Amino acid sequence: MSSNKLFTLLVPVISVVMGLLAGAIIMLVSGFNPIEGYTALWNGAFGDSYTVGETIRRSTPYILTGLSIAFAFRTGLFNIGAEGQVIVGWLAAVWVGVAIDAPMYIHLPLAVIAAGIAGGLWAFIPGILKAKLGVHEVIVTIMMNYIALFTTNEIIRKVLTSGQTTTESISPSASLASEWMQSMTFYSRVHYGIFIALFAAVIMWFIIQRTTVGYELKSVGFNQHASNYAGMNVSKNIVLSMVIAGAFSGLAGAMEGLGTYGNISVMASFSNLGFDGIAVALLGANTALGVVFAAFLFGALKEGAGEMPTGAGIPTELVDIIIALIIFFVASSYMIRWVILRFKKEGK
Amino acid sequence: MIDILQSVIPTALFYSAPLIFTALGGVFSERSGVVNIGLEGLMVMGAFVGIVFNLTFSDVFGAWTPWVSIIVAMVVSAIFSIIHAVASVTFHASQVVSGVAINMLALGVGVYLTKQWYGKGQTDMVDQPFYTTNFPFLSDIPVLGPIFFQGIYITSYLAIFVAFIAWFVLYRTPFGLRLRAVGEHPMAADTNGINVSRMRYIAVILSGALGGLGGSVFALTIASNFSHSTIVGQGFMALAAVIFGKWHPLGAMGAALFFGFAQSLSVVGSSIPILQGVPQIFLLIAPYVLTILALAGFIGRADAPRANGVPYIKGNR
């Protein structure tokens, strides 16, 4: 058993190292200095208190989308729809933030909850289709992403504004912005959302590890037939898992809507928060703690990438390549396991 | 009425062509049992290679440049898709995850190299895109001529032609039978002496080639340059066409034509009296809603190949 635990820890670490090495090779091949490149990356992510604040800000939604995908994964579901759930959550949060007038202790929780509910509802559709009709959730969630994108754009243009591409800012009583955190980090955009995200991670851990609900969800993920035979309601668990996963993603939208931007704009394409969340969940081995670490890693990589063009002349997309490669390496963990086993045998 | 058809049908064919090519790629891959969410990435790669080749070699090949470009894009995307094959066939990785990684990687590589080679986030417009043509003789046919054969891209008809070839290959050749067998019941196929891994590799590489073709045709007819926002969702729409077409080449072609039609309506719809009352949004989301309805069984049942998405591990039952 302990060797299994070692594997689950080694695979992500090796994958990240290999991804960074591959990034260095790409920099070398395209005529850049990898040491300069990675120094710029480091400075961009942790160089001063401002960048640290921005790194935390960027990691916040990643934690939530990562949790969303990891949670669904535990029930054997692949929630590619995090992207769409983020968008509807973002829209709902901003909508409540703009349209309602209330004191902060009502307004802010209301906006956050609205985002969670919107995300949950958006995930309910693929959940119920999977549970009742056996429709594969991957395709439905992908389609739901596009429906969310186009519909949200339409609502922004037609309902929330009259033909504008950006809504007005949310009222301060719905904002997650935090003066003391900002002043600590030289006025970065870091906001209270990070505590919501970390709290969500604790909730996921608690549900999965400490409740009967979580036990059933995991059980359905391992073997639907056995769970059914043991008297669990498989359909209910599938829908529940999708809805909770969707709520996490919806909250990620709230982080952007109430924290980082304070409004929502018409989007030409996806924010990629949901797709990057897949990488986060995968690297975090679908555990709450793992997701938090992975989210900070990817948050730092993405934030640091912003410094690479000015610091070393390297296009920011290098980081996207590195992240894609890390996903490949984790997904192909079969290969890593095989190599490790080989070395072990030879060691003996 | 004829005026309307004359504006809608060429546009529909124009938008469908890339979707048809890419959807056919999806059909090959999924019929062999490998889910290909990476179609989007393969299109991105095809668009990138097609544009860069076109920009670089337009002096050399002159008017033939777009044709050479799409062939080169096909080859490069086919090679690129081997990554997906290695991960999902040899290393038994989750095919969906690997497909997502393909999408990220293609976009990352494309934009990275664009920035390095051109010093900016998007390339220049190409000098030698595809142009519309009037078909000789056919365009003179009254009524039908102006609708189907005037101001049309040859690539649109090429796409339809390739769809029939794909149908022939899949349903009328031993190779196609083997490919489908591998996707339905790999163990039975293996027992009959079919090399499952090899068939799946070939299928994924074919999907790479067709995806690259689709992407480059999109780039050289519709976009004319490459940036991070050249291909946004066309690959996923092609995937939708695969499913809406029930994993059948001609079905996928029909679905792609229909989606192209929906797109063309959202583009030229404002000039059509009946559609003026319909908000554009419904036309935009129509392909996606229809796909969900098709999957849910409201529009006939759509059943995936049985072993779709399941890695084949020898000896496992």
Could you report the predicted ipTM of this complex, rounded to two decimals?
A: 0.88
> Is B140 part of any domain?
no
Is residue A336, in this structure, part of any structural domain at all? Answer: no
Domain of B261?
2-125+153-295
Q: Which amino acid is at B64?
A: W
Q: Quick check: is A40 in a domain?
A: no
The pair of three-digit structure tokens given for residue B129, joined into one six-digit string: 């895109």
Per-residue confidence (pLDDT) for residue A335, from 0 to 100? 77
CB A304 within 8 A of CB A40: yes
With beta carbons under 8 A apart, name residues in chain A contacting B93. Answer: 328, 331-334
Q: How many CB pairs under 8 A join A and B?
A: 128
The DSSP annotation for A293-341 comes to: HHHHHHHHHHHHHTTHHHHHS--THHHHHHHHHHHHHHHTHHHHHHHHH
- Interface test with chain A among B109, B228, B234, B288, by most A beta carbons within 10 Å: B288
A3 in any annotated domain: no
Residue B168 sits in a domain whose CATH number is 1.10.3470
- Indicate whether B314 belongs to any domain: no
Domain boundaries, position A157: 59-285
Is A295 among the domain residues? no
H or E element: which one contains A1? Answer: none
Exposure on the CB side of residue A204, measured as CA atoms within 13 A: 34
Residue A311 is assigned to a structural domain of this protein: no
- For residue A107, being part of any structural domain is answered with yes
B144 belongs to a structural domain: no
Contact between B295 and A144 using a beta-carbon 8 Å cutoff: no
pLDDT bin (cut points 50, 70, 90) of residue B299 is low
- At B300 the pLDDT is 57
DSSP letters for A94-145: HHHHHH----HHHHHHHHHHHHHHHHHHHHHHHHHHHHHH---HHHHHHHHH
Mean pLDDT in residue range B217-221: 94
pLDDT surpasses 70 at B102: yes
Residue A149 in this model has a pLDDT that exceeds 90: yes
Per-residue pLDDT, A44 = 93
Nearest chain B CA: its distance from A182 CA (Å): 32
Name the domain count of chain A: 1
Is A156 among the domain residues? Answer: yes
The answer to whether residue B95 is domain-embedded is yes
Q: In chain B, pLDDT over 70 holds for what percent of residues?
A: 95
Q: Is residue B313 part of a domain?
A: no
CB contacts of B297 in chain A (<8 Å) are 133, 135
Residue A258 falls inside a structural domain: yes
> In a mutagenesis test of the A interface, which of B100, B113, B280, B291 is the best target, namely the one with the most A β-carbons within 10 Å?
B100
Query: In chain B, whose CA is at the least distance from the CA of A280?
Result: B97
pLDDT higher than threshold 80 for residue B6: no
Subunit contact B101:A331, Cβ cutoff 8 A: yes
- Measure the CA–CA gap between A309 and B83, rounded to whole angstroms: 28
Picking from A103-112, A252-261, B89-98, B258-267, which range would have the lowest pLDDT averaged per residue? Answer: B258-267
**Residue A1 pLDDT class (50, 70, 90 cuts):** very low
Q: Is residue B307 part of a domain?
A: no
Round to whole Å and give the CA distance between B15 and B261: 8
Instruction: Tell me, rounded to whole angstroms, the distance of Cα A331 from its chain centroid.
Output: 17
